Amino acid sequence: MRYDFLMNNKNKLKDGGIARAFSSRNFRIFWYGHFSFIIGVWVNRVSIAWLTWELTNSELWLGYMGAASMVPMLFLGPLSGATADRYGHRKQLQIASAMGGLVTLILAIMVFTDRITPEVLLFLTFLGGGTRAFTVPARNAMVHSLVGKKDISAVIAVNAASYHSGNFIGPAIAGGVLAAGGVSIALFAYSAIAIGVALLYNLLDICDEGNQKKDRKALLSELSEGFRYAYNHEGIRNVMILTAVVTLFLQPYMEMMPAFATEVFNRAVDGFAILQASAGLGAMIGGLWLAQRGRTQGLTRILLISTFGGVCSVTAFSQIDHFYFAMAALFFVGISIVAANIGSLSLIQNSVDAKVRGRVMSLNGVLVTGGPALGAILIGTVAETYGVQTPVMVSALIGFVIWLVMVRPTAKITAELEKTD
């Protein structure tokens, strides 16, 4: 009896999403680069946020800086999806990653030589955001060429778990680096990682030629086709609206974290890193659970429940004045947001036609990256006058209203969204 129990559990682990994903050589190579890059991204993001706070001591500037890294996605995201479909996902990912590393190298040198100003930091952050606008849709679309369709949900979940594990590990590393070596060392590290990852992807054995020349249309026509497809597909449209709830109304709290750490909890950079890591720990656990789960069935329900959980936990965090209670709230914020993001991304990947995958994923990337940018600007502007807690709470409550409108029509099309045939 005991032997049968152990063997059954062993077989479950073997058949789980994580094991299936890592059975692919291409995915293993992709994951090595992706996980390294994500840790570097979070080190870079935390470093820039803290540097902004040191230079300005302003919530408005935190909003501007957060937006500068993400706004380019609003304008370049649809274009980058079309170019990725046309010229090749890996090629675009490599070029954009390397260029982002060079931009950060320039920033690191300026910080190291003490020549940085808020305005220059804003400009270079905007340039870095422009390069990331070309990496996000290319990376998301390239995942589909690494494994078969039956393993797509597992791979997406492992990727998301890796991303949010970086959200836990990255801030912890950033806090140590900032305390020991300063912002410039953290930026130099990210630059080296970004360039190294671009070179690593040469080892991938995938077809990356883009669309055949005879099938190519005018670029604007391709963009329009992607928009129409996403809008007319009820499942994808509903999922993207729920994605907007998370990214536009819940996630912008992250850009305000330095203000929460210093003004609400009277902590320095160590408190800032701990708060980031608390959300990251929850996200890592939620992501690993979904990665091991590795199934498309049930993701619609997970998306709806986790979005509601995100509303509740962000609202609670915004009104807590006790540091350790805030850590607990952020832990649940992390679980909720990663579950919602994995659910939405997996459902879109499962439903989208391969011919428009890059363009549709770029639209989703606009929401994931551009939503927090707009939210950060609005919250930062209001927080300059009313403090940081109230605007974060109001933003979450607006998201709740939209969730109420979307929950029933989305639940009705569960079968369509989760179809695997």
DSSP letters spanning 212-236: -GGG---HHHHHHHHHHHHHH-HHH
pLDDT per position as a tens digit, 377-419: 889 889 888 889 999 999 999 999 999 999 999 999 888 888 8
pLDDT for position 150: 66
Six-digit token string for 399: 């998201």
Mean pLDDT of 291-311: 88
C-alpha Rg value of the chain to the nearest Å: 21
d(CA 289, CA 293): 6
Where along the chain do its domains lie? Answer: 7-204+219-417
Among the listed residues 341, 356, 316, 333, the one whose alpha carbon sits nearest the alpha carbon of residue 163: 341
pLDDT per position as a tens digit, 355-388: 777 678 777 777 777 778 788 888 988 988 888 9
Buried/exposed code over 369-392 (b: 16+ C-beta within 10 A; e: otherwise): bbbbbbbbbbbbebbbeeebbebb
Domain 7-204+219-417, what fold? Growth Hormone; Chain: A; (1.20.1250)
pLDDT tier, 102 (very low <50, low <70, confident <90, very high otherwise): very high
